[in-house]
Amino acid sequence: MNKVVVITGASSGIGAALAERLARQGRSVVVVARRKEALDEVAARCVGRAMAIVADCARREDVRRVVDTVLARLGGIDVWINNAGQGITRAPSELTDEDIDEIVRQNVKTSLYGMQEVLPHFKARDAGHVINVSSLLGRVPFAPYRSAYSGAKAFLNALTALIRTELQESHPGIQISLVSPGTTRTNFGLHALHGGPDSRDLPHSQSAEEVAAVIAGVIESRRPDVYTQAGTHDRVAGYYASIGEDP
């Protein structure tokens, strides 16, 4: 069955790679981001299977407009992927109120709005799938300069698990999945608030295409919680063992 898949943060990186992969698989893809020119270029690479909608996913009214537009034009949404987000480079002792507010806005509210605005459609059908793209840093806070980002992704992880629990009894046809990439070779580091190291120069990285392949697999499997790199579960367990806690 041809699924309609909405991807936020789709103008570059993981979102763009995922859109292109799903389009090649025959999916109908809706790509959403703030940068119109870059978004149009992604849509053009999606072999005629993509619709582009310019929106700021940190604004609830924009997210609601995306839902309404897709339903009006395509008749339904099967999968909603919350991929929009932003990094930050600042030590925890130096964080400002503005830093915290902006990083929560970009990494928590973007996903919260996506979930809340698409859920009425999913509930009406008792069918649908939300995939939230988190980060290994939401599980293992080993990078002090990414402190606020780690905290925001941990917040997102909790929201994902709790809304999944909330829906399991009342709407078992709806799944909420979490995908946690590690370091990915994109412009993420360069676009971080206050700048930062290029993610492509960091060790143990993977390509955006590799992460996209995992997310595409989650659409099929509907697994609730997935890492994108082999051995990550052991790495997380090793971190908690080192501080004397179970993961």
Instruction: Please give the Cα distance from 231 to 221 (Å, whole number).
Output: 20
For 183-194, letters b (16+ CB in 10 Å) and e give bbbbebbeebbe
State the amino acid at position 199 in one-letter form. S
Extract the tokens encoding 230.
Answer: 């082999």
CB 35 within 8 A of CB 11: yes
Alpha helices in 75-207 (DSSP H): 97-104, 110-125, 147-170
Of 113, 145, 149, 227, catalytic: 149
Query: What angle is formed at CA 183 by the lines to CA 115 and CA 113, rounded to 5 degrees?
Result: 10
Among residues 29, 21, 20, the alpha carbon closest in space to that of 2 is found at: 29
Extract the tokens encoding 161.
Answer: 């698990």
Asked about 227 being catalytic, the answer comes back as: no
**Active-site residues: which are they?**
149
